[in-house]
Structure 1
Amino acid sequence: MSECRRPRVYVDERERGSGVPEALAELGAAVIYTMAGVGDYIVSDRVAIERKTMHDLAESLFDGRLFDQARRLTEYYEIPVLLIEGDLTRLEEYTSRGQQIRLALAALALDYGIRILWSLNQRETARIIYNLACREQYGSRRSVVVHRKPRLDKLWMQQLYVVQSLPGVGPKLAERLLEKFGSIEAICRASIVELERVLGYERAQRVYRVLHTPYRSPGKPDT
């Protein structure tokens, strides 16, 4: 492989603050934040990486997001990668349905062609992503292409897409929220108790916080 000077890694904005982009920058990567739409880390025109902690993995499987994310990765990238951060031997500490998760991972590999990689922590995750970027950009001389969000021709598709951007909300829950409240505006006006009836306590707390916390720019100093 050719000498790796400074590979570019496009990072989805949702990964800001996870610790991985900072570790990538320390390794020498040029970190470029973007609203990727598909994938968390893009290292070439054919390789995109979806990063999940063990908790994220369990939650996204049971709320319906995991297979939707896998489908979109395979639609837009030739080599889709799922990078799971954590110790597989401790899976049962995160969920009582560990066997279902293992079967789901087998399905992702066999039915979707997802490459599954493992890391123990954020720094190891960054090292893997850095090496993939070097391999693609300097070894295979691939360009970096961020495939944006899919074309959404119908209004209902756009509404589902917006609601799915809320934390912990996959396609099924997005549809349930819209059917329950009738519109995105009504979801935003819903009380935390009303959201809890659809989302459960913890997810409702997170969604309510995103919808109602005043925005503060990352570069704005505390007052």
Structure 2
Amino acid sequence: MAECRRPRVYVDERERGSGVPEALAELGAAVIYTMAGVGDYIVSDRVAIERKTVYDLAESLFDGRLFDQVRRLSEHYDIPVILVEGDPGKLDSYTTRGQQVRMALSSITIDYGVRVLWSLNQRETARMIYSIACREQYGSQRSVVVHRKPRLDKLWMQQLYVVQSLPGIGPRLAEKLLEKFGSIGAICRASVVELERVLGYERAQRIYRVLHAPYKPPRKQQPDK
């Protein structure tokens, strides 16, 4: 690998104060804060890293944010990375639903092509991000690009983007659905049994519910008189 002089790392503002940007600066990285929107640490035009503690990982999985974050990462960057802080061997001590977390990580890797890395603490996280930035910017001569919106200049891209907005649907499954049913409208009209043939039972049930359940927003609280 070429000599790493001072890699640039674009850091989302939400990571300010986490300890990782400070550790990156100590290693010699040029830390640039930005409102990234997608990813916490951007190190090249193809690599973006989402940092999570084990607690964050479990919480984002069970409140539905994790797969949405992963989907957006894979839409915008060719090499999306989830970097988890914590000991994977002690996952069951962090959460009572460790097996569900393991299954979700397997799905993220297989369905979305996301790399999952582990570190023990913020300093190790910083060292890993620094190493990846060096490899990308000095080894592979990649530029750093912060992608905020996918480029959707073709109709088929727009169609894929709409289908990928459904929970648990990545680029590969979106393409399978469109190839199977032919259009977004046909996907919406498909029965749960038809969806199951492409998505499997649990995901089909979830998608069918999203498409057909009545919209019931939470009631706004009346102001106190």
Fold conserved between structures, TM > 0.5: yes
Q: Deviations over 1:33-67 (max 9, x none)?
A: 00000000000000000000000000000000111
Residue aligning to 1:179:
217
**1:33 is aligned with what amino acid?**
Y
Cα deviation, residue 181, structure 1? 3.9
Residue 180 and residue 88 in structure 1: after superposition, are their counterparts in 2 closer, same or farther (change >3 A)? Answer: same
TM-score normalised by the chain length of structure 1: 0.69
1:107 is aligned to 2:145: no
Give the superposition deviation at 1:90: 1.6
Structure 1 stretches lacking a partner, 5+ long: 152-171, 173-177, 192-223
Q: Tell me the equivalent position of 2:178.
A: none
CA distance in 2, matches of 1:2, 1:115: 24
Shift of 1:190: 8.2
The size of the alignment, in residue pairs, is 164
Q: Which has the larger radius of gyration?
A: 2
Question: 1:140 and 1:55, CA in 2 relative to 1: closer, same or farther beyond 3 A?
Answer: same
- Call closer, same or farther: CA 1:102–1:33 in 2, change over 3 Å: same
Contact 2:11–2:41 (8 Å) recurs in 1 = yes
- C-alpha RMSD of the superposition: 2.5
Q: Is the deviation greater in 90-99 or in 100-109?
A: 90-99
Q: What amino acid sits opposite 2:58 in the alignment?
A: A
Q: Is the 8 A contact 2:81 2:114 kept in 1?
A: yes
Percent of pairs with identical residues:
76
Q: Structure 2: where are the runs of 5+ without partners?
A: 152-209, 211-215
User: Residues 4-23 of structure 1, C-alpha deviation per residue, up to 9 Å, x if partnerless?
Assistant: 00000000000001000000
Aligned pairs (5 A) from 1:1-223: 1-149=1-149, 179-181=217-219
Q: TM-score, normalised by structure 2?
A: 0.68
8 Å Cα contact 1:36/1:149 also seen in 2? no
Measure the CA separation in 2 of the matches of 1:92 and 1:149.
Answer: 37
Instruction: State the Cα distance separating 1:148 from its structure 2 match.
Output: 1.3
User: Which secondary structure state, in structure 1, belongs to the residue aligned with residue 128 of structure 2?
Assistant: helix
Runs (4+) off by over 2 Å: none
Paired with 2:150 and 2:48, the residues of 1 have a C-alpha distance of 15
CA distance in 1, matches of 2:6, 2:223: 47
Kindly provide the amino acid, as one letter, of the partner of residue 71 in structure 2. R
- 1:95 Cα deviation from its structure 2 partner: 1.2
